[in-house]
Amino acid sequence: MAVVKRKSLMSNCLRVGVIGVGYLGRIHAGIYARMPDVELVGVADINPNTAGEIAGCYDCAGYQDPYALVDKVDAVSIAVPTSVHMDVALPYLNAQVHTLLEKPIAPTVSEAETIVEAAEDSGVILLIGHLERFNAGIIALADRAANPRFIEVHRLGTFVERAADVDVVTDLMIHDIDIALSLIRSELTYISAVGTPVVTDHVDIANARLEFANAAVANVTASRVSNRKFRRIRVFGDDSYLALNFIDQQIEVIRTTKPALGARYPDLTMEKIQVSPRPPLDAELEHFVETVRARGRPLVSGSDGLKALRVAEQVQHKIHSGLA
């Protein structure tokens, strides 16, 4: 599709739309609707009743056609099923509409590459919705986690039927793959993984070990068949240990200090940091709007989303090789 040149904004008001207003998309719409200097122009959903309901809630236009907003907005959130991410996103990217695309970026690496290339060719902002990167606890942890040597993550949750069309790697583990890749700035050299179906026909519980060229290791476990939520990340550095409980947003920090005079070993200090909680989706959408206005680099770019998907696909391959 030919690139359509868009005119510069005549005012400071950013015109936005939301494509797909199911469970998550309707939250996007609500956040945009209350943002200053942002106009929620319209929403679109394959279900006309849903589109009409959300449009009525926020006094905007509602459409069944997912492409109806292409020439009406400056930026768009796309929260449709992953299987149609490419089909829905490309017309917006080709029309130079800045795009927030929910995670994972696409169902396959090939489609993800096409999406990233389209964004680069059009020169637009493409942010991938890896929501945990906007978690206040993760942001605080990343600021303190210098040179991680070992990362361990557990993301356990109860079964949710609306996510049963994909496996736990794409549904949950990809969050922590993305976090590990963002914290360990080194080339990934080896992956091992195991997993099994429990409730669905897909893998419902999985573990992956990621090894990096600088000898760092990330061990990631994800399950959607737990009887309760448990989400925790531990980061071991050269002289520190940090642990974040995603649920209560508390970070434990243990560091070594200079040994006391005559002591054989360094002392250990422990600090507990209570992070001020903030809805990550609010932070993500505010970052998207600010990045569009400043023409900056998004925290989770299309390339970041593609990188996480490549690793997730390798994890899936390792798991299925073991199940064969």
Proportion of the chain above pLDDT 90, given as a percent: 80
- The CATH architecture to which 133-277+310-323 belongs is 2-Layer Sandwich (3.30)
Closest CA to 46 of 2, 105, 3, 87: 87
Each residue's pLDDT tens digit, 108-156: 999 999 999 999 999 999 999 999 999 999 999 999 998 999 999 999 9
| Superfamily of structural domain 14-124 | NAD(P)-binding Rossmann-like Domain (3.40.50.720)
Q: What is the mean pLDDT of the chain?
A: 92
Higher pLDDT, 63 or 228: 63
Each residue's pLDDT tens digit, 161-181: 776 778 999 999 999 999 999
**In the predicted structure, residue 219 carries a pLDDT above the cut 70:** yes
Name the band, by pLDDT with cuts 50, 70 and 90, for residue 324: low
Interatomic CA distance for residues 130 and 69, integer angstroms: 24
**In the predicted structure, residue 264 carries a pLDDT above the cut 90:** no
pLDDT at 5: 34
- Residue 19 backbone phi and psi in degrees, to 5: -105, 120
**In the predicted structure, residue 8 carries a pLDDT above the cut 70:** no
- Residues 205-221 have a mean pLDDT of 98
Name the band, by pLDDT with cuts 50, 70 and 90, for residue 266: confident
**In the predicted structure, residue 65 carries a pLDDT above the cut 90:** yes
Where, residue-wise, is CATH 3.30.360.10 in the chain? 133-277+310-323
Higher pLDDT, 55 or 267: 55
Where, residue-wise, is CATH 3.40.50.720 in the chain? 14-124
The most distant pair of C-alpha atoms in the chain lies apart, rounded to whole Å, by 75
**In the predicted structure, residue 6 carries a pLDDT above the cut 60:** no
**In the predicted structure, residue 66 carries a pLDDT above the cut 70:** yes
- Residues 185-198 have a mean pLDDT of 96
- Residues 234-242 have a mean pLDDT of 92
Tokens coding 104: 């994972």
- Residues 280-294 have a mean pLDDT of 97
**In the predicted structure, residue 3 carries a pLDDT above the cut 70:** no
Interatomic CA distance for residues 175 and 308, integer angstroms: 8
How distant, in Å, are the alpha carbons of 12, 62, 138, 164 from that of 39?
Answer: 10, 14, 30, 34
Residue with the two structure tokens 């507990």: 272
pLDDT at 11: 58
pLDDT at 170: 92
pLDDT at 54: 97
Q: Is 265 helix (H, G, I), strand (E, B) or coil?
A: coil
pLDDT at 12: 81
Closest CA to 96 of 12, 15, 11, 39: 15
Interatomic CA distance for residues 156 and 141, integer angstroms: 20
CA triple 92-176-25, angle to 5 deg? 35
Q: Is 91 helix (H, G, I), strand (E, B) or coil?
A: helix
**Single pTM value for the model:** 0.90
